[in-house]
Amino acid sequence: MRLFYAIFLPEEVRRPLAEAQGQVARYRGWKGVAPHQLHLTLLFLGERPEGDLEDLLALGHRLGRLFPTFPARIRGTGYFPNEGTPRVWFAKAEGEGFAPLAEALRQGVAELLGEEALLAGGDKPFKPHITLARRKAPAPRVPPVVFGLEWPVAEFALVRSELRPKGPIYTLLEKFPLRGEHGREQEESAGKHAEDH
């Protein structure tokens, strides 16, 4: 199964991004991402055997307990590659928690499944972004779009992607709430409380 870890966006963030996609909708060369599928990929795993699933779910839960919620922002748009002919039009995401969580997932997957499990994601440095559209044929760049979007990142997910002729279908296999120290304190408190009785 084709898998990735990702953060999906709340409706109040998806809506203005979907409106911005109207900038490229008039050009046949650009294919927009369906608004309900807008997300930030933390780690792409590619095709993995079903036997890996238990380890990947356990890793998500473990990291969810370690990482706290954090604020995220979207300010503007950009292209991959930035020079020459772009293949992807994206919204830039900022947030102190993105890079540490993505790196912890990389390390965790490498420890559990070996370095080869990271090959599908390539060796490009992690840049938090939300893909808005992919360029499939000649089409012009559109001017930058400025946003003032903020939201609290409170969970991430392990996602299954099935490629279909009309576009991928995403299935959220499991969500992992971010609880960080607060969550750990609650667990310890609950455990201590249970011992008292």
| Tens place of pLDDT per residue across the chain (197 aa) | 999 999 999 999 999 999 999 999 999 999 999 999 999 999 999 999 999 999 999 999 999 999 999 999 999 999 999 888 999 999 999 999 999 999 999 999 999 999 999 999 888 899 999 999 999 999 999 999 999 999 999 999 999 999 998 889 999 999 999 998 655 555 555 555 444 44
Fold that domain 2-192 belongs to in CATH? Cyclic Phosphodiesterase; Chain: A, (3.90.1140)
Active site residue 129: yes
Largest CA distance in the chain: 70
Q: Per residue in 164-183, is it b (16+ CB within 10 Å) or e — as a string? A: eeeeeebeeeeebebbbeeb
Residue 191 burial (CB count, 10 A): 10
List 39, 61, 182, 197, catalytic entry: 39
List 129, 182, 193, 197, catalytic entry: 129
CA terminus-to-terminus distance, the chain: 46
Active site residue 61: no
Please list, in sequence order, all residues whose beta carbon lies within 8 angstroms of the beta carbon of residue 5, skipping any fewer than 6 positions away: 41, 42, 43, 45, 60, 105, 156, 157, 158, 159
